[in-house]
Amino acid sequence: MARTRLTVTGTPVGDVDLVVVTPVGTRRSDPLPLLVAHDGPEYSRRAHLVSRLRTATADGRVPPTRVVLLEPGPRNERYAANPLWAEALAEHVLPTVHTAYAADAKPTLVGASLGALASLQTEWRHPGTFGALFLQSGSFFRKRVDDEEDFEFWDRVTAFVAGVRRARKRRSDARIVLTCGADEGNLANNRQMAQTLAASGHDVTFHERPGRHDWRSWEAAFDPFLLTLLQGSGSPGSSTRRGT
């Protein structure tokens, strides 16, 4: 996989650094699927995202895919339901990537914890930007559900989640897959978010997995759920709990 560093300047949250990882033997003009990852360097280093995709491609399980590894920068400020980050990603970062690289369809957006929250908010505020969302252990905090009131952006996060819960019709056509560990604190709010999205007509599946709120558990959920999502064939029915 060839890696190219880019910096997108002039966004509402300042400069955004990223790395584009491209399958060897492909050109920028080749239209390939695009996977965008919040906390990209950590996903690559600690959850082995790029190497897992490389192996799956070699095995013929997923098509050759470009990966955008987003540097978080000031992570909490950007990812904790910040509408300016959503604008930066949808209206600055992605257009820059699309100018440099051809894509064959709308990209898939991946995130864990606050990264999952930021992923949902970006598509929620800019519907139609992404074709699919892979949300792992999202920090979908709710009052009277989560004991996180000391978090510096608690009010911003709970306000966004409350807004999603008030929606009565589908806001996005993206396919949405949520995963969450059975032994972590975000399990209840992830179950509720899946139910909320299903009730408003979204294409959503939720998978409760063994594990905790950590990179090992998130990596374990790649196969089959992320790989199947990248195949474009939907989530495996035997493991799917739609809206639960």
Q: Given this model, what pLDDT does residue 41 score?
A: 97
Q: Given this model, what pLDDT does residue 143 score?
A: 84
Measure the CA–CA gap between 16 and 233, rounded to whole angstroms. 32
Q: Given this model, what pLDDT does residue 156 score?
A: 96
Residue spans per domain, the chain: 2-239
Q: Given this model, what pLDDT does residue 195 score?
A: 97
Per-residue model confidence as pLDDT tens for the chain (244 residues): 799 999 999 999 999 999 999 999 999 999 999 999 999 999 999 999 999 999 999 999 999 999 999 999 999 999 999 999 999 999 999 999 999 999 999 999 999 999 999 999 999 999 999 999 999 999 999 887 776 778 888 899 999 999 999 999 999 999 999 999 999 989 999 999 999 999 999 999 999 999 999 999 999 999 999 999 999 744 443 333 433 3
Q: pTM of the entire structure?
A: 0.93
> Domain spanning 2-239: which superfamily?
Alpha/Beta hydrolase fold, catalytic domain (3.40.50.1820)
